[in-house]
Structure 1
Amino acid sequence: MRPSGPLSTQIYNFWDEGQKIGRNAAQNLMPHITLCSYFKVGAEHSSRLGEMLVSAATSVLSSSALLLPLPLEKYCSQNYMGLFVTAPAAPVLQAIKRHFLQAAASVCSGLEASSSSSGGGGSVVSSSSATEEDLHLTLAYSYSATQYPGLEALLQGVHVKAPASWELCLYSRESRFNGLELYRCHRGQDPSHSDSLSLLTGDYVYVSAEAVSACSDGWVTGTSWLTGCSGLVPLNCLVRVPESDTWTLHRGLTITSDGKNIEMTDGTPAHDKLFDDSCEGYSSSSIAGTTSTAIAAPDPSKSPGVQQSGLSLSLLNLLDHSEGSRRSTIVHSDANCSDRLQSLGTTLESGVSVTAATTDVQYHRTQLTQQQIDQLYAKVNKGPRKLSPLYNFPIAGPRKLIVMRHGERADFTFGEWHQICFNEAGLYSRADLNLQPKVPVRKDSPHSFGKDCPLTRVGELQAQLVGEGFTATHTPIHHVFCSPALRCVMTATSVLRAMNIADRLPLKIEPGLFEWLAWYHEGVPQFMSLEELVAAGFNIDMNYRHVLPVTRLVPEESCEQYYTRSGRVSNALLTATRLQGGTVLLVAHAASLDTCTKQLIGGHPRNSTNMTSLLKKVPYCALSSAEESPTDGLWSLVEPPFRSPTHCANHTYDWTIWRQ
């Protein structure tokens, strides 16, 4: 059970300080309580399992509320430290587990037998408070006798009554990487030899424990999470990280503070399903047969030496060539890549865990049928989306990437505009002709507009002019990815409307394109959900699977981490659209013009001072353009197809000056 809030902070402080004493096996996972152990099931049933989890939690909590704050009991021994759930909360969680397993057995034979234990981590000695069936959150296990005194002292800083909130989650991971350790690259590497692995700063790499222990020259063979390619990598550029960093979240349900209800905080797969077949040429069924295993803490009944690890399957892992590995791998033909996608016929191992809710942002990314999507459009008096293909892929010629800043934003023009335009009843009335005549309906309005504002009318015009520029210069746009910020969604829509393709080219909302989070000290903004955007009239690709989920956005990220995040996302999007070719448009923020292209062209991240000084020179709707060389596959910055619109400022007019 992974808490959010003060209890989570205390656990992570315990782990951080424990690292100074020595690593233990609990640090291979995120804090959590396991309700169900591993079980195998076909990946096509993942959506059904999510609904079963909703049904189980709703059924149990409606009749037996979960006591919150969760009653926990601290346990400490020579080989295990953890927090155990006590009555009356434990029976409620066990009931949710039983209801879920009974339902899940319909799609997985032998499930009850294989999932009867509740594992939670580590080897627990026999005692009245620590039995095999107990639900527990592991803090430390498989540590040496010399580590015990220090860990015991640190355990005093974890208070079981610290406030926390909890989330029921359905996770999976890929079992073919079992036994491998997960590392993160803290320094990018360009391959110096044909057998070395190309890495960007922040990339995840899988390495076997045997290779690390047997290493004599500082080099080991690793597999990149981003590309799926293997090669030699220096150990001194890697740092060990929890294996759960690459787990895939399929469904998240936050338990309300009264313990009687759940709120959807859906976390559909973040890395394993990037694109649907309508625009990118990859069908979801091509990915549905991947092999994954469920998130579960180490089983106390297993020996301490058994490593349980995994990798969430990304479509990028199926491709033998990507932007990040173009210098060190062989380019396979489109047919080979397609055959490899279709040949994957393994099974999904899934499970349920209770973890912490990390954000209030809700992204309900359930698979919708075309009829359901059409019904959403009907609510705003729009007919069904046109399904005729806009382009015939693949597109001939060199690939291009265009990064665009959004148009004029309301808050930079009018300050706290939402406090002026909304009355006490929450009704909107624009205070200036440059404000929108109406704003979309969204959760927690008008407060949520404070950090996620719309464009002004001038901002829409700026974006429209850019769309006209694309048309006038015969620059087609084949793929559009957009930051979840409302101003970016409105910008992208205005561009496509000016090109007369808005109804045929849906926007793919990619949270990883959001701007530097260091500017948001109060946390990640609450973005509009996909359903809210569709209801407001925007053409949104409801089947798109983001590269980076909102829950992975960290407000404390450094400038280097921001560059790394942006570089990895743009790299992933270019990789996934490689077979189709054409021009990719990213509609994001001012800094994105640099952060999404810097590492692509082989540059290094700027420091915060340098980056922010350049942002003053980036006007609304500015463009940055890069092009891939058809000979060596390298990218370079090129002149944009046209100049961004230029205009002077038009200050607020006070008619009372004529009374003077």
Structure 2
Amino acid sequence: MASASLPARSNRDDSIKRTKRQTAQDTLVSMGFPRNRAEKAVAATGDRGIQLASDWLLSHVEDPTLDDGTRREYVLYLCPNGKLQDELNKFWEKSLSQCGWNGAHSYFPHITMCPFFTADDKSAGFLSDSFLKLESKLRQAPDHLKLDFFSQMNFVGLFVKDNMYDFLQECVSVFCKELAKGGIKIEPHKKQLHLTLAYQYPPEQHDKLLKFAKEIDLTVDVRWDLRLYSRDPRAGKCEIRKVVKAYTPQVGDELELIDGDYIFLDPKELTKTKDGWYPGVSWLTGVLGMFPGVYTQKTAETWTWALHRSLPLQVRPKSMAITNGIIVEEDYDAIWHDDKDYAKVNKVFIKEKKHRITPEEKREQRKLIICRHGERTDFAMGKGWYDMCFDDDGRYTRTNLNLPKKMLIRFNNLEYINDPPLTEVGKLQAQLTAEMLMENKVLLTAVYTSPSLRCVQTGAEIHQALKLQSKMKIEPGLFEWTGHTSVVPRWISPEDLARQGYAIDTTYIPQVPRDKIEDGESIGNLYARSTETSRQILKLYENKGGNILFVGHSGTLDLCTRIITGQTPRTMTSYREFLPKVPYVAMCAVEEDVITGKWKFIDPPTLPISHGRNIVQNVRDILNG
């Protein structure tokens, strides 16, 4: 049958054109940055978004290498996470404190998957896209990765067992083929895959380092992530010094030392100076200058690297296939029968275990996203902010542009002292976070917030921007540590919040009612309360799946994920040290494996926000610390 011909168009409009989504480089160019600088910034920040790249450009305005064509160096690392990472970090610290620096301390624990290779800055997006094509391949790991101790004089390490060696090599081969399409070549990896524990150390330290290595428990839980990193080529040739004390230049040739910065130092300079001052280059600004060595300390060069993308290595379910809605599980018992001139394997039996896939098994994967609230008024304005804004009759007057334009009506305005609102900047932080969720097409099934006003307001900004149909749910179980606050505030009730325009589900029955939250609770009870809250809420979505958002406090990111991901609760000291490291509107995310039922950390769906005291840190590294 002949195909019908298309009718002629009478309303053609050549002004309508389909456009591709702008790359980060294109957006920066449209903002007025030269293309070569835009490409350099995107590559230097790991192709992680416009905000990071623009911040990098603004901080590197005096970098003399800003316009040179130096190519960054890239590498694939397989990195351990979880309890094995903790074991290895303990070994790193012990070996450093008792034996001094060796070559392994220049990096974090890892398995090198390929040699370093170079690429033009304009290829950053292509590299990320090529790497992400490995996701399906990494889900097919034939077995758990196992490691064996190996040592010889001047080397202690862990070698990958043969059961995974071939598979990992195949993964690298797939990546190499993808890069070859863009003209990027990677040399074959010629070394046995291994995780180096120590090397380049004096011979007399070998026995002690080997003893420490044997104390590592290789049987603990671990999740392996394949990661694409890049580095400034100077990092591989320099000693990296971490700034431990800030310094303001006194004369023109001196380098400003900034908290959080790292300095590139040519090792040759260490033998040239006699006064303890060295020429170095700032990682944060690219500026060259003289700096006092005593204000810095030697550290791992990997702190200066850019993480581009990360994907988890997942073991394929044993002999499982899905055919026409039926799960078929095969069980093989392979027995070798040796004859004179051959060996053969006999399949003893195949057992088919059939059952119909239920709606629960077809459901969407569950993800839990946790967000800290935005900037709070008392932290921004000081503890005396209430007296500055409220008169004796409780009337509010706005005395600073960053203060809320208006206050909500509550039973007693004095409660604002213990339950402060967001600042205007805090609301903007929440709005920017919501915009990134929309840009990344993150769909939320439900939003739960701590009853603290700052959390409710943060959740409300996100809820409103995403135009969610389901209303927010107030959950006291997400409230912060009462051992830290010393008081449980009288929060604004869900009904009063709803009357004042907030989209609150007033019919929701909390998992942990307010009267069940004890004053001055122990750190153990805090983790138990938070974990139970998470599990009970997640249980509500066993059949539905989807993305659930918790809006809470700095501790919530750890409290609601630590135990369900298989980690042990922090001690009180560790928890107190953790809290200041979490910036406003920081996010973390965990995802359920629908086959094993286990939860694991994944990359959060938003970028961090850096300004003033809100310091950018890798939240996943903080949580795993």
Q: TM-score range by the shorter chain?
A: 0.3 to 0.5
TM-score normalised to structure 1 length: 0.38
Q: Which has the higher relative contact order, 1 or 2, with Cα contacts under 8 A spaced 6 or more apart?
A: 1
Whose strand fraction is larger, Structure 1's or Structure 2's? 2
